[in-house]
Chains A and B, each alone.
Chain A
Amino acid sequence: MAKHDVHQFCARLGLPALVIGLSGCVMWMREPEFYTEELSELLEQRSEAIEACYDRFLSEEDPKAQGEVVVNFEVEAKTGELTNIEVSPDSPKTPEALARCVTDELDTLALDPPDVKRAEATFTWAFVLGSQKRPPADPFAGAQEAVLACYSDHLREVDREARGELVVDYALDPETGAVAKLELVSDATTAPAPVVECATAALESAHLDPAKLDERNQSGRRTFALRYTPHEPQG
């Protein structure tokens, strides 16, 4: 706490501001309004972590999830620990995982300095959707034409009704943006073997400007669906 904050803090302590215990310890006693403000500041320290948790939930579970979570908890006197943290029965119906984003973070917090009085708190977290993220740059955009050429050649020369998927696990070198790993996922790949061989060779030569790399495109699994538009006889 900065010096001016301490002055402000002391000025806003209620009466009796300090209670001298029989044991000689000095404990703080906050007015309700100040208690609320201090507790809010404490909780907001975890907003970034909860946002990250929310972000993961949107990416992995439900991209449209939003809503409110009401959490009841207590602040123990003298220790400042947050205890009995539980989602309020009155909380709107919100995915359990989102509620856990909040309760897991609260579990590690403590009010410092503690207060002589125990507090019963009810806070609400509103999960709000922002604008949609921009898609990451495609590391294989430059190889797309070559992959399609492999497929078109096969249609023309071997089997005009061939189709299927090519699935690879890949990783790019973060320094150069070149393909460092490219492994065929055999179980999921259904494209004809000659197309797979030709297309993976094209994908291995893919490259992305390292400045455009992020956690979403640096590595992962990629599926290329190879399909054709049926030939329409003229006339």
Chain B
Amino acid sequence: MTRLAPTILLLAGLAQAVACSRVTTVAPEEPIQIQARPPAAPRPGLPAVPQPPPPSRVTASGDLLSLDEALTFDEEGELSSEHQDILAELARWLATNTEVVELTVEVHSIGAGSRRAHTKRSQALATQIVDALVAAGVDAERLVAASVGASEDGQRDVVLRITARAEAAAVEE
């Protein structure tokens, strides 16, 4: 038995050497599954709010109407053609505000001339505005072109004055 011991040890050593020299190949067919959930959809933003309507370009204060654009005339006293929009807006305002039964247009004239000449010139200036409003659809019976004469400050100031209103009950009818 003692003679066999070295042989056994030698064989064991050889077995280990042989075993350690081999390489195990590991390659499973099935993949390792890794699952995760995609992030939640982005949170919706705040809803859009409705934009308020634009402020009226025509505002009434007592018996006077104000426009957000001054009506102007050229050197020859011709109403500027740039005012089509605001005159159309004024026509719409009059169409909406039916209780205004009469609007008087006053324009002071400028330059040299007699009182009579200014009276005529002032009337002519106001008439241009009235005509433009009539062309925009306003009933001519609701408009008056007044003659107010010469300007004191050298400006052709335009005044839109409500000179007659319907009674509330009459408007409802």
Please report A residues at the B interface, Cβ cutoff 8 Å: 16, 19-22, 29-30, 32, 35-36, 39-40, 43-44, 47, 50-51, 54-55, 58-59, 63-64, 68, 75, 77, 115-136, 138, 144, 147-148, 151-152, 155-156, 160-161, 216, 224-231, 233
A116 touches B37 (CB 8 A): no
Q: Choose from B15, B36, B47 the contact partner of A58 (Cβ within 8 Å).
A: B36
How far apart are the CA atoms of A35 and B27 in the complex, in Å? Answer: 10
C-alpha spacing A129/B55, complex, angstroms:
54
Q: Tell me the bound Cα distance from A155 to B55 in angstroms.
A: 11
Distance A16 CA – B24 CA, assembled complex (angstroms): 14
Chain A residues near B45 (CB-CB < 8 A): 224-225
Indicate which residue in A129, A161, A231 contacts B36 across the interface (CB closer than 8 Å). Answer: A129
In Å, the complex CA distance between A152 and B46 comes to: 12
Q: Contact size class for B?
A: 35 or more
B40-A120 in contact (CB<8A): no
Q: Which residues of A contact B170 (CB under 8 A)?
A: none
A55 with B37, Cβ < 8 A, contacts A22-B16, A40-B28, A43-B32 known: yes
Q: Which residues of B contact A147 (CB under 8 A)?
A: 46
Q: Are A19 and B35 in contact (CB under 8 A)?
A: no
Residues of B near any A CB (own CB < 8 A): 9, 12-13, 15-16, 19-20, 22-28, 31-41, 43, 45-55
Contacts A54-B36, A226-B49, A227-B46 aside, 7 further interface pairs with beta carbons under 8 A come to: A58-B39, A119-B25, A125-B34, A129-B37, A155-B51, A226-B46, A231-B52
Please state if A35 and B26 are interface contacts (CB–CB under 8 Å).
yes
> Please, which residue of chain A has its CB at the minimum distance from the CB of B25?
A120
Q: State whether B24 touches A138 (Cβ < 8 A).
A: no
- Chain A residues within an 8 Å CB radius of B23: 117-120
- Name the contact of A117 in the complex, choosing from B22, B39, B52 (C-beta under 8 A): B22
Measured in the bound complex, the distance between the Cα atoms of B19 and A30 in whole Å is 11
The residues of A that contact B52 with a CB separation of less than 8 Å are: 152, 155-156, 160, 231
B94 to chain A, nearest CB (A): 16
Return the chain B residue nearest A20 by Cβ.
B12
Contact B19 A29 (CB under 8 A): yes
* Complex interface: chain B residues within 8 A of A59 (CB): 39
- Asked if residues B27 and A130 are in contact (CB atoms below 8 Å), the reply is no
What's the dominant secondary structure at chain A's contact region?
mixed
Contact B38 A36 (CB under 8 A): no
When distances are taken between beta carbons in the complex, the residues of chain A under 8 Å from B55 are 160
Contacts of A128 in B (CB 8 A): 33-35
Given A20-B16, A116-B19, the answer on whether A122 and B34 have CB atoms closer than 8 Å is: no
Cα A29 to Cα B49 with chains together (Å): 74
Q: How far is the CA of A170 from the CA of B55 in the complex (A)?
A: 38
Q: Closest A-chain residue to B27, C-beta based?
A: A122
- Chain B residue nearest to A44 (CB atoms) is B32
| CB-defined contacts of A115 to chain B, threshold 8 Å | 24
Option from B22, B27, B38 in Cβ contact (under 8 Å) with A121: B27
Give the 9 A-B CB pairs with smallest separation, nearest first.
Answer: A124-B31, A135-B40, A121-B26, A126-B31, A55-B36, A228-B51, A54-B36, A119-B24, A122-B27
Q: Are B53 and A19 touching (Cβ within 8 A)? A: no
What CA separation (Å) do A66 and B79 show in the bound complex?
A: 73
Q: Which residue from chain A places its CB closest to the CB of B9 in the assembled complex?
A: A22
Q: Determine how close the nearest CB of chain A comes to the CB of B133; give it in whole angstroms.
A: 19
CB of A148 within 8 A of CB of B46, answer yes
Query: Chain B contacts of A58 at CB under 8 A?
Result: 36-39
Chain A residue numbers with a CB within 8 Å of B39 are: 58-59, 63, 132-133
Residue of B nearest to A121 (CB): B26
Q: Verify B49–A229 contact, CB threshold 8 A.
A: yes
